[in-house]
Each structure stands twice: as C-alpha cells, then as structure tokens.
Chain A
Amino acid sequence: MDYLTIIQILDSSLRLATPLLLTCLAGLFSERAGVVDIGLEGKLLAAAFLSGAAAAVTGSIWIGLLAGVAGSLAFSMLHGLASITFKGDQLISGVALNFLAAGLTVVIGQSWFQLGGRTPSLSGDGRFEAWNLPFADAMSKIPVIGPAYDELISGHTTLTYLALLAVPLSWWVLYRSRFGLRLRAVGENPSAVDTAGISVVKLRYAALVIAGVLCGLAGTYLASLAAGFVKDMSAGRGYIALAALIFAKWRPWYALWATLLFGLLEAIGNRYQSIALGDFVIPVQFMQALPYILTVIILAGFVGKAIPPRASGQSYVKER
C-alpha cells in the first residue's frame, strides 16, 4: 500500500465520518440533557429526504438544507412532545420515529416524484460544491505534504468543515458556557436544576432543537453526497452514530475520534472487498459488523467503562 492510497483512504474516511460526526454530536446534546435519542436514524432519513426533494425541485441545496433541518426539527419536537411533555418512554418514541421516517419518506416520495421512493438526482447547485482551499493546486507538487493537503484537507464540502468546527464549538458550549453547565446538570440531576429555578422542560427542548438542527445537516449531507435521496439511505448510520456516542463516552472530542474511526472502517470496507492476512481472509461482512462489535465490547466495560449521563432515559416528574 503506497502513500497516496493511504491518503485516499483517509480522505474517504473523513467524507464518510462527516454525517456520523454531526449525528453523533446531535445525540450528545440530547443525551447530555437526559433525553435518549434512538430516533437519530429517523431524523437523518427524514432530513435526507426533505433536503433531496427540496433541492431537486428548487435546484438549490441551500433551500434543501433549510427543508432538511425543518423536517429533522419536526421529528425532534415530536420526540419532545412524547418523551418530555407527555413523559412517555423515550426509547419507544425513538423507535416509532425511526419507523415513521422509513415509511413516510417512501410513501410521500412515491406520491411526489413517482420514482419508487427516490428523488430526482441532484446536479450543479443542487449539491454542495467542494472547497478548494488556497494553494491546494500549487502545493500538490510538494512531496508528502502536498498530496495530503490537496487530497485530505482541501476539497471537501461546506458541511464537512462545519462538522469539524462543530466539535470545538460543542466542547465550548458544553463545558464553558452557562447553558452547557445547566444542560449537563439536567442530564445528571434534573431535580437540582429544578430547585435552582431553571426549567427542566425548556432545557431539554433546547437540547432537542440543537439535536434536530445537527441531524438536519447530516441528512442534507447524505442527500448531497449521493446526489439525491434513495429509500433507506441512512442505512443504520443513526445507530452507528449512537454507537460512536457510547464509544466516545458522551464527550465531543472523543466523538470526533470515534466517528473518524468508524468512517475509516467503512472506507477500508468499501475499498477492499476482502482483506487477506496471510492465509486467513477477513470477509467484507466482518468489516461491516466491526463498528457494532467494537461498541458491544466497549459497552461490556472490558475497555474502559462507558457510563451514560445519570438521568438519561428518565422523564422528569416534579415532586408535589
């Protein structure tokens, strides 16, 4: 394997990690506030569909982005209605939202476009353009650093850079802002937050709004990357993001590394159908299953223990 191949694999890792990272950060905000979000997958799918549809009709991915974020936000608010306002089971609500997205996107998509659940393919302004960072062409001639800069760092779309920026931003919001302190507190000990005179309900809804926006970005990225919406195109990425969240132990910087790792696994799986280690051949299915296997191992506590926010999964009931 030569240097350029490694750069190319890392480049596609970053490409594949982008939606995972955005979705993982969405789950991070939601779960840090005490709302478990199994519905990430559904939000991703709903956003991919609406952004793909809107971009196909208007020809602008930016209008697509707005539609995708709006759809994802609507799903987020439905999750809030069920699990915060009506104190329903957060897991069940999330499962329902995933099915709702899987069904509605195809039913509505067929009715709108008659393409068997697809949206018309996107081109030109209907997709995000790759950014060529300054001097990328000029630097590509320089050995070692050149190709790395040209292939790996330059040439991604707006949302990839936005996702990378979202990591320090999330860290700052969570650990350095008053809002973040309260948000983390509401996920650990909501009654203490309530006693301090801060609304638990409002904080949790705020977390779901952030999660909705981030999932909306991730879904739009998927639609833009694949040049249109295809049935079930999220393909379990919401669950992988959830796995990455556990892997990252609910921390923003770790979320970046975890999603990059899962992106790398997917990139290697895409490039090599099977990997031979001497006489033993690793089947492609093993590479596909590896993120899930790693998550189970992490969850089992054999490699460091993953402890979720203490109040996550519980509805907050005021004492009377």
Chain B
Amino acid sequence: MNKMPKWADAVLIPLISILLAFFFSGLVIWAIGKDPVVAIKTMVQGAFGSTSGISYTLYYATNFIFTGLAVAVAYHARLFNIGGEGQAMLGGLGVTLVCLAVPWPHWTLALPAAMIGGALFGAAWAFIPAWLQAKRGSHIVITTIMFNYIGAALLGYLLTKVLKVPGSMLTESARFPEGAHLPNFSEILAPFGINFSPNAPANMAFFVALLCTFLFWILIWKTRLGYEIRAYGQSETAAKYAGINPSRIVIIAMLISGGLAGLMAINNVMGEAERLIDNAVEGAGFIGIAVALMGRNHPIGILLAALLFGFLYQGGAELSFWESIPRELVVVIQALVIMFTGALDNMVRMPLEKLFVALGKNKKKEA
C-alpha cells in the first residue's frame, strides 16, 4: 500500500527536511545578530568563488563521500556505525605505515598500496565491534563509540611515542617520500591548459571516491551480497528463513563500512597532509552520518550531500574569517540536518502522507 508517489518519498521529503534545517540555521545566525543573507553570500563566495575555494570544497566532499558511504553500507544492514571517526583514524595509520615503509618511486604504485593499507586498518577497527555484535550481541552503537575513544588514545600514544620523528617537537609522523605525493587538481588539470590553484588540497583521491560511489551502487543493488545485506536490513527473521547467515552479513557489512571509512585517509593523510598528524579526521567520520541520512543511503544522494557538506565546511571557514561567526556554525547545521532528515522524519512525512491520500481520494471522485 503506497500512500505517496515514489518521487515524493525520495526527493520531496528530504528537500523539505533540509529546508527546515536551513531555516533554523538561518534563525541561529539571525539570533546572534548577523545577517543570514550576507552569511550565505559569504559562504558561496568562499566555496565557489575561486579555484582555491572549489578545491577545498571538493577536498572536504571527498572525505565525506567516503565516510557517508561507510555509514550507508552498514545502514543497509540496519547497523548504525558511529565508529567512522575511529575507523578513519586507524585508516590514517594504515596509509602512513604503507607510505613510510618503502621509498615509493611513483604515486601510481603508492596509491593502490596505500588504499589497501587504509582500508585494511579501517576494516580491522570495525571488525571487533562487528564480531561482538554478531557473536555476543553487544550493541554496535555503544561499542563503535567506545572504539572511537580507544582509537584516539591509541593514535595519541603512537604519535607521541612511536611515529614521532626523534628530536622533533611536533606530534606527527615523518613526511611521506616524494614518490607518494598524489597529484592535486592543479597538476591534473595543467595538461588541459586549465589553471587551478596550486596549493589547494583537492587531489586524485576525489576520483577514487567517485569510483567507490559507483562500486557501492553495484554492490548494494547488483550483487548477491548486496541483496543479502538489504534483505537482512529489512527483516532479520525473513533473511534467516531465506538461508542468509546473519553473523556473516553483520561482519561483512561492517568490514566494508570500516574499509570505506579507512579509505578516507588517502585523501586527508596521503593527499593533503602527506604525514600523519594529530586529529587528522576532524570529525569527518561523524559528518558521514549526516551525509548518509540526507542522501537516503543512495550513492547519488550521498554524492550530493557530501558536496553540500563540503560547501558548508569550506564556506564555514570563510564565514569565521570574514564575518567572525565561529566555524562551529557548521556543526549546528550538521546537527539540524541529522535531526530533521533522521529523527524528525515523521514530522514531515505524516502531514504529507495525509495530503497525498486526500489528493488521491479527490481524483477517484472525479473519475
């Protein structure tokens, strides 16, 4: 029984929810005595007004595509992975170990190896909560939160005691070799005669993120495994009845999820910092939750939501610079987006359903 046409469910409800979130964000800006219109103009100018701005927007978006996909894979199996932050941190460790292991001759060799390192470490960090959920019934939300903190402590220890360059005051790893440098947009676009800001961070990893988005679509909707993941997410009992092993699905879905979160490190650690620094993830793991919710766990939706959050992140930085509105405003917007598209979904849905039912009845009368 469909109360609403499909387009309303896929497009209209998210759109109204986002507009509500933005309306309340505007209220917050207005309440602290700033002009919301000026704020939006500053953000758009900062995010799209220069090639440097665009580069930063795409760089942040790349992070959020990875973490958004990570949350979405788990969500299709009805697992709420809040551990993207910790998994991305550990991914950074994996990428760092790979990049520092060998004096890489060229990035084409370093990138695949670093991808394996990042994904492996991210997946490993997701494996323990996954195994505990599958075999011991420990709630994955709590364990992944705990693993974020354990991961942060582990990385803090490794950065101060093991990876730190002897004699250096900075808590960061050694710089990666020249050969592990990923081409940034300026270097990629130069052969085509396009001038792009040379110091801005968007790099090759963006294309890896796009590729992952496509592979995500294949996995979830075109493969047997994806079907099993979705079946398990819809109904555990039905999936069991169909001969699907629940433990296997929980563990595999979480491994893929953790792997995707870990892959983020090829962007922030390998592509941008070119060394492992403290707090390299900067909350991107949590933004993945907002991105996945907003994008309805669909690759196209996630791509658009990641771009939007990339814009908010870069625009927010400009906002703090020009308008002296703290960067945390983006966190407020992120919270409102999660609230309206996630938890308050029914608030928008219920009146709309009534509206569509009423419209349907009218049509029947006319016929």
Contacts and interface: CB of A to CB of B under 8 A. Distances in A.
Query: For chain B, what secondary structure do more than half of its interface residues adopt (helix, strand, loop), or is it mixed?
Result: helix
Contact of B338 (A96, A106, A110): A96
B335 A100 contact: yes
Interface string A261-276: 0000000000000000
Interface string A151-179: 00000000000000000000000000000
B146 A286 contact: no
Interface in A271-320: 283, 285-286, 288-289, 292-293, 295-296, 299-301, 308
A243 B33 CA distance: 39
A90 B345 CA distance: 12
A107 B329 contact: yes
A236 B149 CA distance: 9
B150 interface: yes
B145 interface: yes
Given A107-B328, A289-B153, A100 B342 contact: no
A308 B329 contact: no
Given A99-B334, A107-B328, A92 B293 contact: yes
A99 B338 contact: yes
Nearest to A83: B343
B336 A100 contact: yes
Interface in B313-335: 324-326, 328-335
Interface stretch (B131-139, B172-180, B250-258, B261-269): B131-139
B82 A102 contact: no
A238 B347 CA distance: 28
A141 interface: no
B289 A104 contact: no
Interface stretch (B43-51, B154-162, B204-212, B241-249): B154-162
Given A38-B145, A295-B142, A300-B136, 17 more contacts: A81-B344, A86-B344, A87-B346, A88-B345, A95-B82, A95-B342, A99-B331, A99-B338, A102-B328, A103-B332, A103-B334, A108-B31, A239-B145, A285-B153, A292-B146, A293-B150, A299-B146
Interface of A: 38, 78, 81-83, 86-93, 95-100, 102-104, 106-108, 110-111, 117, 236, 239, 242-243, 246, 283, 285-286, 288-289, 292-293, 295-296, 299-301, 308
